[in-house]
Structure 1
Amino acid sequence: MMIGKKFGNRYEIIEKLGSGGMSIVYKGLDTLLNRWVTIKVLREQFASDEDFVRRFHREAQSVASLSHINIVSIYDVGFELDLHYLVMEYVEGRNLKEYIREQGKLTPEEAVPIAIQILHALEHAHEHHVVHRDIKPHNILLTMDGRVKVTDFGIARVANEATMTYSGTMVGSVQYISPEQAKGLSVGPKSDLYSAGVVLYEMLTGHLPFEGESPIAVALQHIQEEPPSPSALVEDIPMELSHVILKAMEKNPDLRYASADAMAFDLEKIYTGKSHEINMIKEKQNLSEDTVEIPAVRSGNGSPEGKKIPEEEKTPPPKKKKLKPQATWGIIGAAVLIFLLLGWGAYALLTGFFNVGEARMPDMRGKSLIEAKAELKEAGLEHTLTYSFHDTIKKDHVISQTIEPNQMVKKTNVVGLVISNGPKTTRVPNVVGKTQREAVVELNNRNLQGDFSEAFDDRVPAGTVISQQPEAGVDVPEKTMVTVVVSKGKELKYLPMPDLLNKYLDEAEKILKDLGLSIGKAEERESNEYFPSQIMSQEIKAGDMVLEGDKVNVQVSSGPGPMAQMARVTYDIPPDGETHRLRIIVSDLKGERTEYDRVHQPGDFIDQQVPFFGKGKIDVYVDDELGISENVP
């Protein structure tokens, strides 16, 4: 059982997230930096292979050098408890495959920004000579705020080499591999671009370009067949977007995009409404791969080396024609005319350029995007758009512009607008029932602030969160203050100690329990004054203030207790012609009890012996009115 184990004296295993062919994945807590992490623990079959472990560590250290907002960071790699592990950034969210299954297919407006972020991650990796080799929706995570995080960079190479060692087969998702991967050839950055094209294809159509009954059948399609055009499958997909996908999926790597940035640049043109700027002409290879006949090299006499050609088959060389003077002057005149025309065209072009009309740059800051576009259109100015989160500027409103307002600018100038995505949001986690320390970590991981207070609660253990506001699952701007109430446990009160003397032990325990107190140590001692089990003394005096939950030590009699004594009680019933009820109540070491209770005739005389124990009091009541009260003995 891995839960609770700690690697490197800092990475504590919290829960299992899943497993793959190479490793088991856990959610962990970095106790040093107080943040969640993902911990991948290698399976035993790989951990025992020294060559594999060496490659694994080397590749992990190489990938750890990558630092990009769209790449899951690798924090640490190590060996402990006979296990090799990898510590990575923890991403709260789901993978792209799950999202595609949930949505069926994505709109171009949603899919293109995701693809652009994937390509930005690939460009950064390729610049650092790291090729992913296993780009697929399963390795693309979507955070709660919509950001893309590509994971498992570089690990595919190690996994592939290891699987070749154990089984002689290649690992990977065959639906997304490039033709060169399917052929078993070496791969480079353009292989990642092919896989990125397949991922974008699946996002937009909801289907894979190639499917078959076996991995081999799918691999052969990647090598031999052209994928159906996405635009033919889904009407809403622009032709320019289909062109980008199909160019990325060219069989020949040389015909694909030169880099991830180049592909992202075309997608950004589509996203910003500049599809017309994309070159839709399909490039062709310089040389054909088909078999062709090449003429033999001929010798000086026009025949192939070592062979003669019959005279009748020889073709006389063409005669050279001399230009007549009139033709020469005609050519010169035509050249002069062309030169004059070109000069006039250049003059007109330059004049048009330098005489471009001017317009006053409008102030679009704080305005809606619709308003800004209308003002720019009216002024005859072009624009580009970039998007950014902002804490105060509303969504789809202008944050800033690259050209200051009120300046006179040529209409050829292009102003860049930064548009607000609104405050960057995050989902409030559920911290109710967690410890205060766990709540702090959860809120920090979501970039939220916590306002902690304490309150007494009889039902929730001390140190545990009772309530939170806002509630869990609500999307709020980052840095929002979450009010968290932590239990102080049951509220303790001060109360006066009750008088336990003469009470029997079980009676005393009940009295204390009702007050939130209890008997501590009960020491037994012989006594002729107290009956067995009666309280002889108490450590805390009656009336002293004690804290709720305290224990009180007592001394308890083990007997034999006092002997009974007799008291004589006499009383004359009034001769008033009416009957009267007479009661004798004794209060002594045994407690309070009624020793006599009868109705008498008028004028009766009562003479009664009443037993008592130790010191006490005898009260005589006539018709519920106290007649006599005396202490005994």
Structure 2
Amino acid sequence: MPVYSSARFTTIPERFGKMTRDYELCEQIGESHSSKVYRAIHKPTSKVVAIKVIPPKSLEKLGGSRGRYEEPEFHCPLKHKNILQCYDFFTDGERGYLVTEYVNGFNLRHCIEESAKSFPDAHIRINHLMDTAQRICEGLIYLHDQKIVHGQIKPENILVSGDTVGPFFPVHREVKISDFALAGLVKGFLHPAARVKGGDIRYMSPEQMIKKRTTFRSDIFSLGVTLYELFTGHSPWDGRSGKSDLLARALSPKFRPPLPSNLIASLPGQLDSVIMKMVEKNERHRPANMVEVWLALGKLGALKI
């Protein structure tokens, strides 16, 4: 799901003449290469929601034929405090509309770019980020317990609320994983074994790049890259954006990213061990499951960094 902020978008949304189900679009709050996201109101209940508008070309990939879309069966059994809840999906015969809960905040990319300014005290900042990381883990533990591989974990697909709470150090009131298994939801069930197509190559595991398949440990790798950026503000691939350079470094057995504590001296060495194990190129050398990652981060939190 794209960033939840209307700052760089027009406040007057594009009009969708055939849109149904009593929703009123209020403003655009995000977009990606394949969709736009709007804050909206369900008029009968006054409930604020987010609506992801899926254009015809992307909708065809969900099983429709060009120009002909029947109303799909929709069922989302996923309910967890760290998973963005999906309420409904419908079409107007042309576009698709995915209705989800609305998070009044932004995505993790914003946190990566702004956390040093927001939390100049290194002790508070690390504890704040550690709490966010653990809650992402909890959401992934739940998904994996449901036999679902997310396949596209990256900062843009983690949403956090703008408000913070906490007696000892501030934490986000909400942390939510978004953008998972849309095709399965639309057809009325989830496809836990389905291959996840596409994605951001910067966060793909080697097995996704080479074998075009995803496993639970692929999610661990992608989260490891995400946490590396979250704690250091840098990509483990040394900021290289060219596809060939990135592929070479991500796949080369000789290249190892710098330790996070080499980039940010205040980070504990124990965090190095956790993240570097997550981004091992051989999936068998990564943590066995998300519970192992969550427990390792929990031990770091117990150290009162």
Q: TM-score range by the shorter chain?
A: 0.7 to 0.9
TM-score w.r.t. the length of structure 1 is 0.38
2:57 matched to which residue of 1? 45
- Where in structure 1 do 4 or more consecutive aligned residues deviate above 3 Å? 1-8, 47-50, 59-62, 104-107, 155-158
Aligned to 2:251: 223
Counterpart AA for 2:94: D
Listed one character per residue, the Cα deviations across residues 451-502 of structure 1 (whole Å, up to 9, x for unaligned) are xxxxxxxxxxxxxxxxxxxxxxxxxxxxxxxxxxxxxxxxxxxxxxxxxxxx
Report how far residue 48 of structure 1 moved. 4.6
Question: Does structure 1 conserve the Cα–Cα contact (< 8 Å) formed by 2:126 and 2:267?
Answer: yes
**Contact 1:201–1:208 (CA under 8 A) maintained in structure 2:** yes
Structure 1 residues 205 and 49, CA gap change in structure 2 (3 angstroms): closer
Looking at structure 2, the residues matched to 60 and 132 of structure 1 have their Cα atoms a distance apart, in angstroms, of 21
Shift of 1:199: 1.2
- Structure 2 Cα separation of the partners of residues 27 and 100 of structure 1: 24
2:138 is aligned to 120
Q: Is the 8 A contact 1:133 1:157 kept in 2?
A: no
Aligned 8 A contact 2:56 2:94 in 1: no
Judge conservation of contact 1:60–1:154 (CA < 8 Å) in 2: no
Q: Secondary structure at the match of 2:41?
A: strand
1:84 aligned partner, one-letter code: G
1:181 Cα shift? 1.3
- State the match for 1:197 in structure 2: 224
Task: Find out whether 1:173 has 2:173 as its counterpart.
Answer: no
Q: Which has the higher contact order (CA 8 A, sep 6+)?
A: 2
- CA drift at 1:60: 9.7
Residue 103 in 1 paired to residue 115 in 2?
A: yes
d(CA) in 2 for partners of 1:157, 1:9: 22
What are the Cα deviations for residues 222-244 of structure 1, in whole angstroms up to 9, with x where unaligned? 11122111122221111111100
1:137 to 128, 131, 155: 155
1:34 is the counterpart of 2:46 = yes
1:53 CA drift (Å): 7.5
Amino acid at match of 2:105: G
TM-score computed with the length of structure 2 as normaliser: 0.77
For residues 82-115 of structure 1, the C-alpha deviation after alignment (integer angstroms, 9 at most, x for no partner) is 2211111111001110122123487321211111
Question: What SS class does the counterpart of residue 77 from structure 1 fall into?
Answer: strand
Identify the match of residue 66 of structure 1 among 52, 75, 78. 78
Give the whole-Å Cα distance in 2 for the aligned partners of 1:193 and 1:60. 31
AA at the equivalent of 1:234: I
2-structure distance, mates of 1:239, 1:4: 52
Partner of 2:63, secondary structure, is: helix
Deviation of the 1:150 alpha carbon: 1.2
Aligned with 2:302 (options 267, 272, 284): 272
Code of the residue aligned with 1:138 in structure 2: it is: E
> Are the structure 2 counterparts of residues 187 and 48 from structure 1 closer, same or farther at C-alpha, using a change threshold of 3 Å?
closer
Aligned twin of 1:240: 270
- Which of the residues 3, 21, 30 maps onto 1:18? 30
User: Match of 1:218, as an amino acid?
Assistant: L
1:307-358 deviations in whole A, cap 9, x for unaligned? Answer: xxxxxxxxxxxxxxxxxxxxxxxxxxxxxxxxxxxxxxxxxxxxxxxxxxxx
User: Secondary structure of 1:22's partner?
Assistant: coil
Describe the shift of the 1:205–1:50 C-alpha distance in structure 2 as closer, same or farther (beyond 3 A): closer
Contact 1:15 1:26 in 2 (8 A): yes
Q: Partner amino acid for 2:51?
A: I
Number of the residue aligned with 1:93: 105
- Deviation at 1:194? 0.7
Tell me which amino acid in the other structure corresponds to 1:134. Answer: Q
- CA distance in structure 1 between the aligned counterparts of 2:23 and 2:101, rounded to whole angstroms: 12
More helix by percentage: 2
Whose strand fraction is larger, Structure 1's or Structure 2's? 1
What is residue 154 of structure 1 aligned with on the other side?
A: 181
Q: Which runs of 5+ in 1 are unaligned?
A: 159-169, 276-633
AA of the residue aligned to 1:120:
E
| Aligned amino acid, residue 59 of structure 2 | A
SS of 1:25 mapped into structure 2: strand
RMSD over aligned Cα atoms: 2.9
Q: What is the distance in 1 between the residues matched to 2:16 and 2:250?
A: 45
Cα distance 1:60–1:218, how it changes in 2: closer, same or farther (>3 A)? farther
Output the CA distance in 2 between the equivalents of 1:140 and 1:24. 17
1:368 alignment partner in structure 2 = none
Which residue identity does 2:155 align to in structure 1? P
1:417 is matched with none
| C-alpha distance in structure 2 between counterparts of 1:269 and 1:252, whole Å | 25
- 2 CA distance for matches of 1:157 and 1:199? 25
Q: Secondary structure at the match of 1:75?
A: strand
Distance in 1 (CA, whole Å) between partners of 2:20 and 2:101 is 16
Q: Identity across aligned pairs (percent)?
A: 32
Give the letter aligned to residue 251 of structure 1: K
The 5-angstrom pairing of residues 239-258 of structure 1 reads: 239-258=269-288
Distance 1:179 1:156, change over 3 A: farther
* Cross-structure match for 1:263: 293
- Measure, in 2, the Cα distance between the counterparts of 1:156 and 1:31: 27
Secondary structure of the residue aligned to 2:80 is coil
What is the SS of the residue equivalent to 2:266?
A: coil
Residue aligned with 1:51, SS: coil
Secondary structure of the 2:127 match is helix
**1:247: how far off?**
0.9
- Kindly indicate whether the alpha-carbon contact (under 8 Å) linking 1:3 and 1:14 is maintained by their aligned counterparts in 2: no
Paired residues in the alignment total: 261
Instruction: Tell me, in whole angstroms, the C-alpha distance in 2 between the residues paired with 1:201 and 1:261.
Output: 18
Letter in 1 for 2:129: A
CA distance in 2, matches of 1:127, 1:186: 19
Deviation at 1:245, TM superposition (A): 0.4
